[in-house]
Amino acid sequence: MDALQQVSAYWRAANYLSAGQIYLLDNPLLTEPLLPEHIKPRLLGHWGTTPGLNFVFAHLNRIITERGQDMIYIAGPGHGGPATVAHAWLEGTYSELYPDVSQDAAGMRRLFRQFSFPGGIPSHAAPETPGSIHEGGELGYSLAHAYGAAFDNPDLVVACVIGDGEAETGPLAGSWHSNKFRHPRKDGVVLPILHLNGYKIANPSFLARIPPAELAKLMEGYGYRPYVVEGDDPDAVHPLMASTLDAVFNEIATRPEHLPMIILKTPKGWTGPKEVDGKPVEGTWRAHQVPLSEVRTNDEHREQLAAWMRSYKPEELFDDQGRPYPEVVGLVPKGPKRMSASPHANGGELLRPLVLPDFRDYAVAIERPGTASTSPTQVLGTFLRDVIAANPHSFRLMGPDETASNRLQAVYEATGKAWQAATLPTDENLQPGGRVMEVLSEHLCQGWLEGYLLTGRHGLFNCYEAFIHIVDAMFNQHAKWLDTAREIPWRRPVASLNYLLSSHVWRQDHNGFTHQDPGFLDVVLNKKASVVRVYLPPDANTLLSVADHCLRSRDYVNVIVAGKQPVLDLFDREEAVVHCTRGLGIVDWASNDAGQEPDVVLACAGDVPTLETLAAVSLLREKLPDLRVRVINVVDLMRLQPPGEHPHGLPDAEFDALFTTDKPVIFNFHGYPWLIHRLTYKRNGHDNFHVRGYREEGTTTTPFDMAMLNGIDRFHLVRDVIDRVEGLGVRYAALRQEMTDARLRARAHTRAHGEDAPEIRDWTF
Amino acid sequence: MDALQQVSAYWRAANYLSAGQIYLLDNPLLTEPLLPEHIKPRLLGHWGTTPGLNFVFAHLNRIITERGQDMIYIAGPGHGGPATVAHAWLEGTYSELYPDVSQDAAGMRRLFRQFSFPGGIPSHAAPETPGSIHEGGELGYSLAHAYGAAFDNPDLVVACVIGDGEAETGPLAGSWHSNKFRHPRKDGVVLPILHLNGYKIANPSFLARIPPAELAKLMEGYGYRPYVVEGDDPDAVHPLMASTLDAVFNEIATRPEHLPMIILKTPKGWTGPKEVDGKPVEGTWRAHQVPLSEVRTNDEHREQLAAWMRSYKPEELFDDQGRPYPEVVGLVPKGPKRMSASPHANGGELLRPLVLPDFRDYAVAIERPGTASTSPTQVLGTFLRDVIAANPHSFRLMGPDETASNRLQAVYEATGKAWQAATLPTDENLQPGGRVMEVLSEHLCQGWLEGYLLTGRHGLFNCYEAFIHIVDAMFNQHAKWLDTAREIPWRRPVASLNYLLSSHVWRQDHNGFTHQDPGFLDVVLNKKASVVRVYLPPDANTLLSVADHCLRSRDYVNVIVAGKQPVLDLFDREEAVVHCTRGLGIVDWASNDAGQEPDVVLACAGDVPTLETLAAVSLLREKLPDLRVRVINVVDLMRLQPPGEHPHGLPDAEFDALFTTDKPVIFNFHGYPWLIHRLTYKRNGHDNFHVRGYREEGTTTTPFDMAMLNGIDRFHLVRDVIDRVEGLGVRYAALRQEMTDARLRARAHTRAHGEDAPEIRDWTF
CB B133 within 8 A of CB B139: no
pTM of the model: 0.98
CB B678 within 8 A of CB B703: no
Which residues in B lie closer than 8 A to residue A45 (C-beta atoms)? 510
CB B743 within 8 A of CB B716: yes
Sequence-distant (6+) residues with CB within 8 A of B698 are A480, B505, B508, B512, B513, B516, B706, B709
**pLDDT higher than 70, residue A489:** yes
CB A335 within 8 A of CB A480: no
Q: State the smallest CA–CA distance between residue A467 and chain B in angstroms.
A: 7
| B370-567 to CATH, choices 3.40.50.920, 3.30.540.10, 3.30.300.20, 3.40.50.970 | 3.40.50.970
Q: Average the pLDDT over A369-387 and give the result.
A: 96
**pLDDT higher than 90, residue B520:** yes
Alpha-carbon distance of A458 to A494, in angstroms, equals: 8
How many CB pairs below 8 A link A and B?
356
Q: State the smallest CA–CA distance between residue B115 and chain A in angstroms.
A: 9
Task: Determine whether the interchain pair B523/A528 forms a contact, defined as Cβ–Cβ distance below 8 Å.
Answer: no
DSSP state of B432: T
Residue-wise DSSP of A415-481: --EE--S---TT--SEETT-SEEE-S-HHHHHHHHHHHHHTT-EEEEEEETGGGGGGHHHHHHHHHH
**pLDDT higher than 80, residue A527:** yes
Q: What is the structure's pLDDT at A511?
A: 83
Q: Average the pLDDT over B310-332 and give the result.
A: 97
- Amino acid found at B687: D
**pLDDT higher than 90, residue B762:** no
Residue-wise DSSP of B212-236: HHHHHHHHHHTT-EEEEEE-S-HHH
Alpha-carbon distance of A632 to A611, in angstroms, equals: 12
Instruction: Choose the weakest-confidence range: B94-98, B118-122, B443-447, B741-745.
Output: B118-122
CB B681 within 8 A of CB B732: no
Q: What is the structure's pLDDT at A546?
A: 98
Alpha-carbon distance of A439 to A417, in angstroms, equals: 10
Q: What angle do CA A168, A172, A173 make, to 5 degrees?
A: 70
Q: State the smallest CA–CA distance between residue B242 and chain A in angstroms.
A: 27
Q: By CA distance, what is A751's nearest residue in B?
A: B118
Q: With 0-12 CB in 10 A as exposed, 13-18 as middle and 19+ as buried, what is A33?
A: exposed
Q: What is the structure's pLDDT at A594?
A: 84
**pLDDT higher than 70, residue A268:** yes
CB B397 within 8 A of CB B160: no
Identify which of B44, B124, B441 has the shortest CB distance to residue A509: B44
Q: What is the structure's pLDDT at A764?
A: 67
Q: Identify the CA nearest to A432 among candidates A742, A187, A719.
A: A187
Query: Which tens digits make up the pLDDT trace of A70-116?
Result: 999 999 997 889 999 999 999 999 999 999 999 999 999 999 999 99
Which residues in B lie closer than 8 A to residue A288 (C-beta atoms)? none
**pLDDT higher than 70, residue A765:** no
Query: Which tens digits make up the pLDDT trace of B65-85?
Result: 999 999 999 999 978 899 999
**pLDDT higher than 80, residue B513:** yes
Q: With 0-12 CB in 10 A as exposed, 13-18 as middle and 19+ as buried, what is B408?
A: buried
Q: What is the structure's pLDDT at B764?
A: 67
Task: Determine whether the interchain pair B119/A701 forms a contact, defined as Cβ–Cβ distance below 8 Å.
Answer: yes
Measure the CA dihedral A290/A294/A295/A296, to 10°.
130
Q: By CA distance, what is A409's nearest residue in B?
A: B202
**pLDDT higher than 80, residue B765:** no
How close are the terminal C-alpha atoms of chain B, in Å?
83
Q: By CA distance, what is A118's nearest residue in B?
A: B701
Q: State the smallest CA–CA distance between residue A629 and chain B in angstroms.
A: 26
Going by DSSP bridges, is the β-strand pair B557-561/A567-568 parallel, antiparallel, or unpaired?
unpaired
Mean pLDDT of all residues belonging to chain A = 96
Query: Which tens digits make up the pLDDT trace of B294-314?
Result: 999 999 999 999 999 999 999
CB A79 within 8 A of CB A21: no
How remote is the C-alpha of B15 from its chain's centroid?
A: 32
All structural domains of chain B with their residue ranges: 45-99+117-296+336-346, 370-567, 586-761
Mean pLDDT of all residues belonging to chain B = 96
Which residues in A lie closer than 8 A to residue B172 (C-beta atoms)? 170, 174
**pLDDT higher than 70, residue A707:** yes
Supply the ipTM of this predicted assembly.
Answer: 0.97
Q: Give the C-alpha distances (Å, rounded to integers) separating B721 from B244, B612, B617, B707, B729.
A: 75, 14, 10, 17, 9
Sequence-distant (6+) residues with CB within 8 A of B334 are none
Beta-bridge partners for A195: A163, A264
CB B166 within 8 A of CB A440: yes
Q: Which CATH class is domain B45-99+117-296+336-346?
A: alpha beta
pLDDT class for A482, splitting at 50, 70, 90? very high
**pLDDT higher than 80, residue A761:** no
Going by DSSP bridges, is the β-strand pair B557-561/A557-561 parallel, antiparallel, or unpaired?
unpaired
Alpha-carbon distance of B107 to B104, in angstroms, equals: 5
**pLDDT higher than 90, residue A13:** yes
E strand or H helix that includes residue B561: strand B557-561
- Provide the sign of the torsion angle of the four alpha carbons A121, A125, A131, A132, taken in this order: negative
Query: Which tens digits make up the pLDDT trace of A171-217?
Result: 999 999 999 999 999 999 999 999 999 999 889 999 999 999 999 99
Q: State the smallest CA–CA distance between residue B638 and chain A in angstroms.
A: 15
Cβ count within 10 A of residue A236 = 11
Query: Which tens digits make up the pLDDT trace of A543-592?
Result: 999 999 999 999 999 999 999 999 999 999 999 999 999 999 999 999 99
Do B586-761 and B45-99+117-296+336-346 have the same topology in CATH? Answer: yes
Which residues in B lie closer than 8 A to residue A22 (C-beta atoms)? none
Cβ count within 10 A of residue B66 = 14
Q: What is the structure's pLDDT at A321?
A: 97
Query: Which tens digits make up the pLDDT trace of B542-593?
Result: 999 999 999 999 999 999 999 999 999 999 999 999 999 999 999 999 999 9
Query: Which tens digits make up the pLDDT trace of B380-390?
Result: 999 999 999 99
Q: What is the 3-state secondary structure (H, E, C) of B327-379?
A: CCCCCCCCHHHCCCCCHHHHHHHCCCCCCCCCHHHHCCCCCCCCCCEECHHHH
Q: What is the structure's pLDDT at B595?
A: 79
Q: What is the structure's pLDDT at B78?
A: 72
Alpha-carbon distance of B620 to A492, in angstroms, equals: 47
Q: Which CATH class is domain A586-761?
A: alpha beta
pLDDT class for B201, splitting at 50, 70, 90? confident
Q: What is the structure's pLDDT at A510?
A: 77
Identify which of B137, B444, B466 has the shortest CB distance to residue A514: B137
